[in-house]
Structure 1
């Protein structure tokens, strides 16, 4: 076996690929990024030079038949996620894909089923699941620190598009401006929904909530002109779970605050945990805990074991959190066992939750969950 045990090809050379994916993989000494693909030749050339990647292609399919490539990392725009993921899985590659795999949860589930049949592993870009503070909190929950879970409160909110002059992709608009289109809850709510399911660790049974369009006129990135965008830029939800557990979600990118704007709180019979993933005072994460007999929350240190090599909370969060994601996926693949957290099964569950949230808003009523029978939550325990 060579010193580099895992060979990765990254599809996409845009901002998120160069700020998180490529450096995240290259941080791990077990991994070599051997190829890069993008239809934008200038972006492709620049990224390859910056990261020392020798092989570049404009057609990703050229990489699928290469038996030396172990992992395909899909870091393209949303429209290509499903196509590339399915093609890579069919070719027998492990796949990391940015969210969502598909806006239809049944298609994401189909991709998960194909991966299981092919014997390959998958992972969604649930970046914040892999923040050291979030991982440590989950460890504490599993060790019984909070006792029986009661309530989860999740927030993903920042002021990225509070200013209507900040350009937003045309893909975020909807042709029928009389109908509010899903935006924040899918693009920004997904990571905190993932954490909610993971921490509460119980089947969800019903949801209710609402969406709002607070800033109706926005700058369109592709044209540079203002356009009517009737999109969800803020929303609030309540969810019921088995075992008498409750969850709530608030997602918005027009709420004053810094990136990444994540806060996850869980309260139980014995204690509580609050994790903040917000760049403030030179750090990107904090964890505070309290017990029922010591109700004042105190900040605690995150053990080194939950960080990537030489990692620290003073690093930029995209690099730190994604380094942990890549490290985790590498370990899962090389281990050969069945462990595979944050995979396409979990992605399908999160997407179905988003679809249920939207249905609740459209119907102006509680929505039963799952949407399509008990099979929808298969794999909950291993997510």
Structure 2
């Protein structure tokens, strides 16, 4: 896996990028990103299941199914809980961009991320869009930076395939427990993939990646994941394409989890020996979401009993049995074998690393699942206790 380059990247040549400061907040930072592919681009879209989803999500769900070729993002304002006026503002933004780029409005999705309950500063946004010219010459990396809120770094991943390429960007560090985090992700490829094939592949990948990451158990009102295929590279092997798509999305998920608000450690929990994929994911999420497990990792405290606890609280999984359970930290087993002093020292050393690997074998079957998260620190509390001020 590699970081994508600039204009040398074939995907970047297919998808035009504009970034700018539209005045969402008055600090001059880029807060608008527009990315548009050529006519004929196919797409697949997955959005949050939140019951309080924002107007941008509602509008994007009405986009042309399988034929979206671009997106607009306004960062640091979620445009959520803004009523009918919020929807009208989103419609206006999408329509204005569509006129500039020469697309139909329903070929674009519009996304927002940031503070809930505040309307867009439409006067400054209108002024920026009225001066927008096309085609632009900004980079994919610039778009990744423009869509950030409290992210500490842009998130960009690119994977070359056999005659094609897949490149993705994402933002997200808090309010992340996707049910489809605040999470936005946009993946672009030059592969030619029919819309129905793209949709099926993307939904499978989303389950294993974006639906398998958690920072704080909270589901955002704005989560959106979009993949667009320009087709300029011609037909490709569908299985090879899905593997590359999964590699990009897995990389982005790892970036999101490791950049969680206040986070210092990426936690990866792999559950094996499950009776079903759903059971494996349920147990993995229980471990990743446990505040006691998170603080154990943050303090590098080899208190492996907290993982036993997190597995045991999956009360809707009656097949779980302690006599079948095996737990390891970075390959060192701590249960059921009694963890001696030397093993605990190895576990403590592992917990001090940048990534902690938790392995849980349920002893019930052949299914497995990997879930991604991070530790819980004082930084998370500070970041979210003064978010509006």
TM interval, short-chain normalised: under 0.3
**TM-score normalised by length of structure 2:** 0.25
Q: Which has the larger radius of gyration?
A: 2
